[in-house]
Amino acid sequence: MPVEWTGSRPPELVLSLDRGIGHEPLGTQLQCELRDAIRGGRLAAGERLPSSRELARTLGVSRGLVIECYAQLEAEGYLSAHPGSATRVAARATTRTESATPARPQALAVDFRSGVPELSSFPLHDWLRSLTEAGRRAPVAASGYGDARGSAVLREVLAAYLRRVRGAAADPEHTMICSGFAQAANLLFAALAREGITEVALEDPGDRDCDAIALRNGLRPVPVPVDGQGIDVAALRASGARAVVLTPAHQSPTGVVLAPNRRQALARWAEAADALIIEDDYDAEFRYDRRPVGSLQGLVPDRVASVGSVSKSLAPALRLGWILCPPHLTAALAHDKYLADRGSPALEQLALARLIESGRYDRHLRRMRTVYATRHQVLAEALARHAPEVELTGLAAGFHAVAQLPPGVDEQHVVTEARARSVGLYGMSDYRADGATQPAQLVLGFGNVTDAAIRRAIGTIADLLQPTAAEPPHST
């Protein structure tokens, strides 16, 4: 499908004409250039060409030459023209066919992928209002290259906000704006590698993307087990690693909260091992049936780099996050950030600051807590009705839960068969360092799934969740 340029004229069309002595006539060259552009797909079927007057002006040739060229290509079937309408590439003119385009993966009717918030609830009106207000207030200097750490306005607002709602020891001078957790991890891992650290401990089960980020920065990922109280600090100590990535407020994906005694043990380990804790504070805003859990960074700010973003609270597409940096790493991280991208988009930073200080951000969070709380209740009820033997855990916060499958149910069989029914399910094996499928569990993300879709999907796959679903047929 061609782009429909909505301006009074389409963008300029780059064509090359050689006016040297002995070369083909300009009219012939122009026909060849346009013909090749159409055949090669530079000009798509249905795409509007410049007017004859505009193209003649751009190329520095006579309008009559362009009119003659258009007429010739129309006669050959490359172009189509109608009185009062623009000249366009003919529908069947290009050599590229639909079959040459890679087929897109079949869309799922319901997708329980975790980590995806309710995208349709993005507060667009509030965001545009904040963007407009920020643009009106922004000084001229905000349009230039600023501090690599990010906008001083946003850092000030964020630090004050995180001190209040997360109990963080946030200092604007040691707060850095980034594009999200992935960039933060890359920056932090690179800084650790420069300090001579060769290994980083990662929760198991946990986000396996961290393994790849560690490896690309020269660090060896070391899996450390997670139990009902969070990461096993004794196993962490035994690993010999001097850095660890944690999700203490709501472990991803099990949903457990790091126990108070483990927090204290982690702080002692970090001091004794001269280690760094990287805290992924990824969805602490959404809590339902427990009191808020403060940021680990507030306990040992010199030993914790706390990473947050608006990917879960607003939308991943905004690509805005932050690092509460240990003071000894701030300068190095800011330097690397400067080399990476010269800093995050300034106007969007000012808009986020305005969204937070105006109270619109908190209003959105309150609304979404209600939405997600309702959805996790709907999921629990749907499973209780259709698959009562499935135990659901990890519902205290966030927008994903863990389904403990009954004995005899094969995790991979359920995932494969559900996809055949257009329901996207994801096994806990995707989060385990060794890919083990036992115990059989599913990680069910419900952030971007409506109540009706949850009920419909669980009903569709209910038979797969029964103990007999994965039993192989008996031979006769």
pLDDT digits (tens, 9 = 90+) for 381-401: 999 999 999 999 986 788 999
Q: Kindly list the distances between the CA atom of residue 457 and the CA atoms of 237, 386, 407, 420, in Å, as whole numbers in the listed order.
A: 43, 11, 22, 12
- Angle (CA) 285 452 127, round 5°: 40
Residue 322 structure tokens: 């932050």
Q: How far apart are CA 59 and CA 36, in angstroms?
A: 17
**Where residue 21 falls among pLDDT bands split at 50, 70, 90?**
low
pLDDT digits (tens, 9 = 90+) for 70-105: 999 998 899 998 887 889 999 877 654 444 445 556
pLDDT digits (tens, 9 = 90+) for 229-278: 999 999 999 999 999 999 999 999 999 999 999 999 999 999 999 999 99
Q: How far apart are CA 209 and CA 221, in angstroms?
A: 11
Among 16-20, 188-192, 195-199, 305-309, which is the least confidently predicted range? 16-20
User: Does the domain spanning 26-100 belong to CATH 1.25.40.10?
Assistant: no
Q: Percent of the chain beyond pLDDT 90?
A: 75
> What's the whole-number mean pLDDT along residues 177-186?
97
Among 90-104, 139-153, 417-431, 437-451, which is the least confidently predicted range? 90-104
Residue spans per domain, the chain: 26-100, 123-358, 363-465
Length of the chain: 476
Two domains, one topology: 123-358 and 363-465: no
Sign of CA dihedral 414, 415, 417, 419: positive
- What does the DSSP assignment read for 246-307? E--SS-TTT-PPPPHHHHHHHHHHHHHHT-EEEEE--STT-BSSS-----GGGT-TTTEEEE
**Where residue 342 falls among pLDDT bands split at 50, 70, 90?**
very high
Residue 284: closest CA among 299, 276, 295, 273: 295
Mean pLDDT of the chain: 91
Residue 188 structure tokens: 């932090």
Q: Which CATH number fits domain 123-358: 3.30.420.40, 3.30.70.20, 3.90.180.10, 3.40.640.10?
A: 3.40.640.10
Q: Flag whether pLDDT at 146 surpasses 80.
A: yes
- What is the per-residue pLDDT for 210? 96
Distance of CA 388 to the CA centre of its chain: 34
What secondary structure letter does DSSP report for 118?
-
Computed over its alpha carbons, how large is the radius of gyration of the chain?
A: 28
Strands 321-324 and 175-178: antiparallel
- What is the per-residue pLDDT for 475? 45
Q: How far apart are CA 160 and CA 137, in angstroms?
A: 20
Q: How far apart are CA 464 and CA 356, in angstroms?
A: 44
Q: Percent of the chain beyond pLDDT 70?
A: 93
CATH code at 363-465: 3.90.1150.10
More confident residue, 416 or 471: 416
- What is the per-residue pLDDT for 397? 81
- What is the per-residue pLDDT for 375? 95
Among 3-12, 33-42, 209-218, 416-425, which is the least confidently predicted range? 3-12
